[in-house]
Amino acid sequence: MKDYSVLFLTARNKSDQTLEQVKDLLLQQINFIKQGNFDESLIRATVDNAKFSFLDGLNNNGNRTYRLLNPFVVSKTKTWPAEVSALDDMSKLTKKDIVDFANKWLVIIMYVFTKKRRRQINCKKSASHRSLLSK
């Protein structure tokens, strides 16, 4: 089986940062993960956040329907057991599992897309337009 997964990282630069600095910061964070240079408590916090998001999503009918649609209907129940146990499986991950995964799969084949904002042009609205808005 071939893996065609993609990991998208997005970030916004601060007013004193260049886009190049932001790119370097993201790559640095990936390297921290690959080296195991992160607090292990973040794993538990991530799992807790995923559980909270799952439970919070159950408050919405559309979200509940979607959660059943793909694993149960579209894949004809083949992925249903994995879907049901996903959060429990996630809670069993160790720091070593994450570092091993990162070193195996987070190969830097990089495409960097940047969006630079154009200068905003100030447009004055006509007097007739203002009068319509004030009504």
Three-state SS for 56? helix
Single pTM value for the model: 0.69
Predicted confidence at residue 111, as pLDDT, reads 73
Between CA 28 and CA 35 the distance in angstroms is 10
For residue 37, is pLDDT > 80? yes
> What was the pLDDT predicted at 43?
95
Alpha helices (runs of H) in 39-126, residue ranges in sequence order = 41-57, 61-68, 80-91, 95-105
Torsion of CA 26, 116, 109, 104, to 10 degrees: 30
Query: What pLDDT, on the 0 to 100 scale, is given for residue 33?
Result: 95
